[in-house]
Structure 1
């Protein structure tokens, strides 16, 4: 009989790319992780991994079995959530993917408060500026900016009217001057970040004469958007990010908005799930909680004229 904990260890090993790392994440001995996968292989009658003295990778059978293993764990999780619905208190595991800047500087504190309100919940947070596969990866939802490219996903709006903000520090503007048009950005040091292996360097604006895209350059790029915001605060250049990310810096005077807010690219914030079966009571309450926090924060700083 296949044991679900063996299946979980198999999936964790695939994601961690080693028995030792999977064991560390699960807080078990490495030998137990290896034994669990061997036991699963014996039950299935196949080799799930191709092993050598230097490496380990999924076998063809392992590749075929992986989505089914994840589906088994997903079914177990949904069953636990279904049972949790019967009680008034929220229970179970909530697995979220969040972006770096929003995650560290806003969501981390908000999610702490949400969990304190619902102590029966356990949080598993993945913080990264990479896109995630909500179907294949063990996640309940992702909190992301922008419109969805995949129409099969379920998007629950948290802040529909959010836009980007073009900003620089007072020190940078004192030294290099303020751009008067979007075309002037080509003469400035523009701080860029990488999203899912692509550099965000084509900045889009909605001007009275129509939409305009400006290709920008600069001497700093990072795959962590929080780093880019910090560079801007330090006076290293101009940044173009979600207004929600830079709002506290604007309010404190660390950053100055350069163009009318209405001219900047829309950047709606959504709570995204793979399918409607993920819309558990915990997810519904989280959506309402985060939406209220986002709108309250945005209301504290009116848009520039």
Structure 2
């Protein structure tokens, strides 16, 4: 393994908290990764990491060396980006997004991105399960809701996205509409379920008043698009991201309920790996999605011709 690859392995392992995980990200087997780190340590004459079967920590020398390695790799990445900039945006872009958001919003934005950059190849994976960018081959993950702390770059898109209580006219004709959040206990509520957890506590705010309601219903699904479809078909009341049901509300397929109460915010963020790993294509896509979000909130169209906002250009 060349010395530069050994340095890359050291940095990846430090960021991932595991030598074997860092090796997998580079396509290196655990035994080969261990041997490469030993060679690097022998060459430097210091121990960089203290390892066990379950944990990894940097030595003081490793912490010092890591900072310099990152600077060096950042400089090399900047050089590659400068060379690639004149070639346009090309290559494969692997994107993960929630099912409803991907189908109803992101799909159109990606269509516009590829019209501008016909050399880009999009691989879009729709799943409400969280993606691990350190383990999975994903360049950008689009996520809804508040994000846990991580070593990833998080860019929040400028979108207003409260959760909306809604139901189909057919359901309301049979059962009536709730007039308070507490009245939801008497309705069939369509619940979202992920990783064994049922999201049945719905929060509403009116001024300084906050109400949490535990809801029940005869249907749960681990796919946001499925829950939305059940609501459109009149099976119950849903608590959905505004962006997921904009078209349904405009077309009258769904009706917004409790207009005096606001649901929880569901911010939309882009999750990206460490800035050193951002290719020109990934940077261009992140900038473009940020520009799409800003123009959508301003009531403008998708930016087919204008450049992105530079949202990650300075990262």
Q: Same fold (TM over 0.5)?
A: yes
SS in 2 for 1:144: strand
Unaligned runs of 5+ in 2: 3-17, 29-72, 300-315
Is 1:174 the counterpart of 2:129 in the alignment?
no
Point out the more displaced range, 208-217 or 265-274.
208-217
Contact 1:156–1:270, Cα closer than 8 Å, also in 2: yes
Where 1:230 maps in the other structure, the secondary structure is helix
- Distance in 2 (alpha carbons) for counterparts of 1:272 and 1:190: 31
Partner of 1:238: 237
Partner of 1:71: 26
Q: Measured at CA, do residues 227 and 185 of structure 1 come closer, stay the same or move farther in structure 2, by a change above 3 Å?
A: same
Q: Separation in 1 of the partners of 2:133 and 2:155? A: 14
Q: C-alpha separation between the residues in 2 aligned to 1:263 and 1:114?
A: 33
Distance 2:79 2:94 in 1: 14
Report what 1:164 is aligned to.
163
Distance 1:124 1:224 in 2: 20
> What is the CA-CA distance between 1:114 and the residue it aligns to?
1.1
Distance 2:271 2:228 in 1: 24
- Which residue of 1 is the match for residue 102 of structure 2? 103
List aligned pairs for 1:177-192, cutoff 5 A. 177-192=176-191
Change (3 A) 1:81 1:161: farther
1:120 Cα deviation after fit: 1.6
Question: How far is 1:165 from its partner?
Answer: 0.7
Shift of 1:290: 2.4
Name the SS for the 2:174 alignment partner: helix
Q: CA deviation at 1:272?
A: 1.0
User: For the Cα contact (< 8 Å) 1:158–1:287, is it kept in 2?
Assistant: no
> How far did 1:72 drift?
5.0
CA distance in 1, matches of 2:261, 2:287: 26
Aligned residues: 237
CA contact (8 A) 2:157 2:293 kept: yes
Corresponding residue for residue 26 of structure 1: none
Work out the CA distance in 2 between the residues paired with 1:193 and 1:287. Answer: 28
* 2:274 match: 275
Give the corresponding residue for 1:285. 284
CA deviation vs aligned residue, 1:250-293 (integer Å, no higher than 9, x gap): 00011111123761101111111132224443333323332343
Corresponding residue of 1:14: none
Residue equivalent to 2:248:
249
Matches within 5 A, 1:50-65: 65=20
The alignment's TM-score, normalised by the length of structure 2, stands at 0.67
* Residues 1:91 and 2:85 are matched in the alignment: no
Query: How far did residue 189 of structure 1 move?
Result: 0.6
Q: Which residue of 2 aligns with 1:259?
A: 258
Partner of 2:216: 217
What is the deviation of 1:206?
1.8
Local SS of the residue matching 2:177:
coil
- In structure 1, the gaps of 5 or more residues are 3-62, 301-305
SS at match of 1:119: coil
Q: CA distance change for structure 1 residues 283 and 196 in 2, over 3 Å: closer, same or farther?
A: farther
How far does residue 112 in structure 1 lie from its aligned partner after superposition?
2.3
Deviant stretches of 4+, over 6 Å? 78-81
